[in-house]
Amino acid sequence: MSKKSILWIIALILGAAVVLAIINGVVKNETGIDYGDKVKTFNAVVLENKKTTLLVEPLEGEDELKSSDKITVSVVKDGAVFEDLSSFKVGSTVKITYDGTIMESYPAQIRAIKVEAAK
């Protein structure tokens, strides 16, 4: 097989990969992690703040309340460092965006994509 044929095969494979990625419709958050269509959001009241984790209670009517009445929330940034959540005061309402995964423990645990003050 000639060198030119090998280059054409490589170009064809790379082109197919790009087309598949576009067709797949990759959804990414601010960290660049692909969560597909599993991203979920819920509102909760802060029960406890430990600077890098929040203990929250989902508001009445939220689906997450079916999993647990208390959920520990943390936000990982840069792969290993936890984001500072100390600005959220006990009693405040927060909006939590996460990848749809709830670790079933008590309290349940969520690795959030983003935590912000609820409006």
- Render pLDDT for 61-92 as a digit per residue (tens, 0 to 9): 998 998 899 999 999 877 667 888 999 999 99
Q: How much is the pLDDT for 46?
A: 96
User: In the predicted model, is pLDDT for residue 27 greater than 60?
Assistant: no
**Per the confidence metrics, is the pTM higher than 0.75?**
no
Q: How much is the pLDDT for 2?
A: 85
For residues 46 and 70, give the distance between their C-alpha atoms in angstroms, rounded to a whole number: 10
Task: Tell me the range of 33-37, 76-80, 81-85, 106-110 where mean pLDDT is highest.
Answer: 106-110
